[in-house]
Amino acid sequence: MSAVLENETRSTVAPMLLPIMGVVFVAFLVIGFALPVLPLHVHDGLAFGTFVVGLVAGSQFAASLISRPWAGHYSDSRGAKRGVIVGLLAAAAAGLLYLLSLSFSEAPLTSVAILLLGRALLGGAESFIITAAVSWGLALVDPRSTGKVIAWVGLAMFAAFAIGAPSGSALYTAYGFAAIALGTAAAPVFALFVVAPLPTVAPVHHARFSFAKVVGVVWLPGLGSALGSVGFGAVTTFVALLFASRGWANGWLAYSAYAVAFILARVFFSHLPDAIGGAKVALVCALIEAIGQALIWLAARPEMALAGAALTGFGFSLVYPGFGVEAVRRVPAQSRGLAMGAYTAFLDLAQGLASPALGLIASGARLNVVFLASAVTVLCAAFVAMWLMVQPANVEGQPR
C-alpha cells in the first residue's frame, strides 16, 4: 500500500510543480540578465567607481533580505498565488525603472539613483516570488514531498541564473542596457499569463507564528544551510581566479562541472530528504561538499580541481532542501511561507558575508587557502545536521 501511495505521489508532483517552476524560471531569468552587465553599465556607461558598482549590486541583496518576513507573512495570510503575482508585478516595475534611468544618462547621479530604486524593487520581487512559489508548491502536494518541492523550485531558480547570465551578456553586447531593461519589464508580464490559470490554494486561517518565533524555530536549519552555502560562494567567486593563478586554461569548466553535478543531484535524488530525512541527507551531502572543497585546496592539476567543483555542486545541491525539510517540519502549515522566508534569509545573509570574508583570507594567504577555509566551514554544517538528527521535529512543528 505504501509503495502504491509513493508511486502516486511521484506521478502527481511533477505536473503540479512544473507550471510553478516555469514561473520561477522566467522571473529569475531577468535577475540573471543583469548579473554580468550591471557592473559594466554603471562603471563604463555612467562612469562611476567600484564603490557605486558594489552599492547598486548590493541593493538588491539588501532589499531581498529585508523583505523576507513581509513576503512570508503575505503568502501565509493572502495566499501564495497572490504573493507570486505581487512579485511579478514588482519585477516588471523594476524593469520600467531601469528604462527610466536611461532617460537621465546625461545626469549620472539621477540615473544611478533611479537604478538603485529599481534594483531594490527587484530584490523585493525576488523575495516574494521564491518564498511564495515554494509555499504554493508545498500547499499543492503531499507533505511527504516537501524536499522535492524545495529542490525542484530551487533548481528552476539556479537554471535561470545559469541561462540568464550569458543571455544578458549577449543582449548587452548587441543592444546595450536598454535591451536588459526591456527584458526585465516584459518577462514578468509573460509569466503572469502562466500564473493566471493555475489553481489557487486558500490560506489556512489559524493563529500564525510571529516572525521572531519562526526565526527561533528554524534558526538551526537556517544556520546549517548558511554554513553549507559557503562552498557555493567559494566556487562561484574564486575558482576562476585559482585557475588563472595556476596558469590552467579553461577555468569556466569548473563552473560547468559544478552546474552539471548540481542539476543531476536535484533531478535524481531530490526525493531523498522526504524518504530518509532532511538532516541525514544534509549530513552526507555537507561531507561530500567539504571533500570537494578540500580537493580544490589540494589540487595540483586542473582535473583535481574540476572533480572538487563537481563534488561541491553535488553536495550543495541537496544541503539546501535537506535543511529546508527540517525547517518546514518545525512550523505548522499556516506558517510555512514565513518559515521559508526566514530560512532563506539565512542563505541571503551568508551569501552577502561569505565572499568578502573569503576575499580577506585570500588577500593574506595563497588563493587555494580560501577553499580550505570553506571546507572547514561546510564541515560545520555537517555538525548542525548531526544535532538536528538528535533533536528531530514532526510535521506539526514541535520537537519530538
Higher pLDDT, 312 or 214: 312
Given a cut of 80, whether residue 90 has pLDDT beyond it is: yes
pLDDT tens, position by position, 15-60: 777 888 888 888 888 877 887 677 778 878 888 875 777 677 667 7
What does pLDDT average to over the chain? 80
Given a cut of 70, whether residue 393 has pLDDT beyond it is: no
Higher pLDDT, 399 or 146: 146
User: What is the reported pLDDT for 378?
Assistant: 92
User: What is the reported pLDDT for 2?
Assistant: 38
Q: Please report, for the chain, the start and end positions of each structural domain, with discontinuous segments joined by +.
A: 15-195, 211-390
pLDDT tens, position by position, 321-336: 888 888 877 776 666 6
Higher pLDDT, 340 or 326: 326
The pTM (predicted TM-score) of the whole model is 0.69
pLDDT band, residue 245 (cuts 50/70/90): confident
User: What is the reported pLDDT for 182?
Assistant: 93
Cβ–Cβ under 8 Å, residues 232 and 293 = no
Given a cut of 60, whether residue 379 has pLDDT beyond it is: yes
**Which region among 16-30, 129-143, 259-273, 384-398 has the lowest average model confidence (pLDDT)?**
384-398
pLDDT tens, position by position, 214-237: 777 778 888 898 898 888 878 876
**Superfamily (CATH H level) for 15-195:** MFS general substrate transporter like domains (1.20.1250.20)
Class level of CATH domain 211-390:
mainly alpha
User: What is the reported pLDDT for 1?
Assistant: 38
pLDDT band, residue 307 (cuts 50/70/90): very high
pLDDT tens, position by position, 2-22: 344 344 444 566 677 788 888
Provide the percentage of residues in the chain whose pLDDT is more than 70: 82
Per CATH, 15-195 and 211-390 having the same topology is answered yes
d(CA 384, CA 397): 18
Q: Over range 259-284, report the average pLDDT.
A: 86
